[in-house]
Chains A and B, each alone.
Chain A
Amino acid sequence: MNPEPLILTFKLASLTTLILFGVALPIAYWLAYSKFRGRVLVEAVIGMPLVLPPSVLGFYLLLAFSPSYAFGGWIEEVLGLRLVFSFPGLVVASVIYSLPFMVYPLQAGLQALPPSLREASYTLGKSAWTTFFKVLLPNCKSAILTALVLTFAHTVGEFGVVLMIGGNIPGVTKVASVAIYNEVEALNYPAANQYALVLFVITFAILLLVYLLNHRLRVRYSA
């Protein structure tokens, strides 16, 4: 078995999780505390990757990233970068694809905190910034962990989008899920099985670890 597709999968998942954490924090904060009426609309848009078939997302991204269309042409012109068939393209796609998996748990975690927590911090003269990082976030460790893991696992499980825009390039866009697909296509069931088993075991171990940690966090707080 060639480990390359597996390494690529975990590289993609790690990068996506890292980027999304930075992207999702302000969004989750805004969704949790904003009084803005149109908030629901934003929430619905963020949730779209949950319900859209990955092929829809993949198809639109293929058109968006293609140099023959406005956005892709502009990027190629200005940055000399073609996102379709490239690893950075997969990262961009995964960030969109896994967005709700990062935003929703964080938002729920923040909303579950008692309002008095924020108010007390403000009363003691702390800025919103300090309050967020020193008071609010440390109190939703469990939600953060859930968000990180769900995003990571969801990206590991990504298939349709990658198949549409990846181009199956070994070492660049050929992630494990696509490698499995290829092996099945070539009637190499044993090889497909090896990849599948590794993915199965690793993802299960990750999830198990998280539930254990989450359980311990909860026990500690309720004590």
Chain B
Amino acid sequence: MGKPIVRITVVIFFMVGLICCSKPNDKVVVATAANVQFVMQELQKTFERESGTKLDIVVSSSGKLTTQIQQGAPFDVFVSADTRYPQEIFVNGGADNPPKIYARGTLVLWTRDSTITPDLTMLTQAGVKKIALANPETAPYGRAAVEVLKEAGLFEQVNSKLVFGESIAQTTQYIATGAADVGFTALSVVLSHEMKGKGRWTALDSTAYAHIDQAAILLKHSESSPKREKSQQFYDFLYSEKARAIFQQYGYSVE
């Protein structure tokens, strides 16, 4: 062991050994859209208690998760914020069955500023300098927010005040830190444990925007995959009575 080169070689072999012998992840990995993360904690607790199967939750924006899935990320189930992204995965052969809608989201206008009433008519006032919404090109709640603004005939007037979060999570961050005076987010966010009772919010008229239908998809597993059955089990659980009750509790409507 005198020569450094010998020592380095031994260390490298040892490290490679460690990497190779680490156990494969036997947890079901659930790729979760940002707006679903709060309700997912609750769903995870219930599912793990009932089935004994452990879950790993990966939270990001639906667009990013879709890109990662198409590049072969090791996810088992994808719980999206819309129907378009999971459909895209299905069309490209990433799943055996088409996506199914598990819940419908509600858009709210939310503010942490006590001097502002969260109301559409307030948005044109000088006191409101920045209005946060999710990127309408990639996030369904962002698209809905733009629809609401256009429906109310306010879009042109407030266009210069708009700032865009990359997902509902970042949009929430902008509103929660007060960097934006007011903003559009998901009802599930303002009802979450973290944000409950902080600031004031109003649910927006659901006829003013296209339904935010949210779908999930069971990603392709090989016949021999040890996680095949457990993933299917969790996917079915998402559509069970128990899960539906939890979704409703968190501000989603279920058919």
- Chain A interface (Cβ within 8 Å of chain B)? 62-63, 65-69, 72, 82, 84-85, 163, 165, 167-169, 181-182, 184-187
Given contacts A185-B61, A185-B64, A187-B66, contact A169 B179 (CB under 8 A): no
Nearest 6 A/B pairs, CB to CB: A68-B178, A167-B163, A185-B63, A168-B164, A66-B179, A84-B179
- Chain B interface (Cβ within 8 Å of chain A)? 61, 63-64, 66-67, 88, 112-113, 129-130, 132, 135, 137-138, 162-166, 173-174, 177-180
Give the Cβ gap from B113 to chain A, nearest Cβ, in Å. 8
Alpha-carbon distance between A68 and B175 when the two chains are bound, in angstroms: 10
Alpha-carbon distance between A147 and B138 when the two chains are bound, in angstroms: 38
Given contacts A168-B135, A182-B137, contact A62 B177 (CB under 8 A): yes
Alpha-carbon distance between A69 and B113 when the two chains are bound, in angstroms: 12
Alpha-carbon distance between A68 and B113 when the two chains are bound, in angstroms: 8
User: Are A167 and B174 in touch, CB under 8 angstroms?
Assistant: yes
Alpha-carbon distance between A180 and B78 when the two chains are bound, in angstroms: 24
Sample of 7 further A-B pairs with CB below 8 A, known A66-B179, A167-B180, A187-B63: A62-B173, A85-B130, A167-B174, A169-B163, A185-B61, A186-B138, A187-B67
User: Are A185 and B173 in touch, CB under 8 angstroms?
Assistant: no
User: Are B63 and A186 in touch, CB under 8 angstroms?
Assistant: yes
Given contacts A82-B129, A185-B138, A186-B138, contact A169 B178 (CB under 8 A): no
User: Are B132 and A186 in touch, CB under 8 angstroms?
Assistant: no
Contact of A66 among B164, B165, B177 (CB under 8 A): B177
Give the Cβ gap from B136 to chain A, nearest Cβ, in Å. 10
User: Are A82 and B130 in touch, CB under 8 angstroms?
Assistant: yes
Which residues of A are found within 8 Å of B164, using beta-carbon distances? 167-169
5 pairs from A and B in contact (CB 8 Å cutoff): A66-B179, A167-B174, A169-B164, A186-B63, A187-B67
Contact of A85 among B137, B178, B179 (CB under 8 A): B179
Which residues of B are found within 8 Å of A82, using beta-carbon distances? 129-130
Give the Cβ gap from A109 to chain B, nearest Cβ, in Å. 35
Which residues of B are found within 8 Å of A85, using beta-carbon distances? 130, 163, 179-180
Alpha-carbon distance between A168 and B164 when the two chains are bound, in angstroms: 5
**Which residue of B has the minimal Cβ distance to A178?**
B166
User: Are B137 and A63 in touch, CB under 8 angstroms?
Assistant: no
Which residues of A are found within 8 Å of B132, using beta-carbon distances? 167
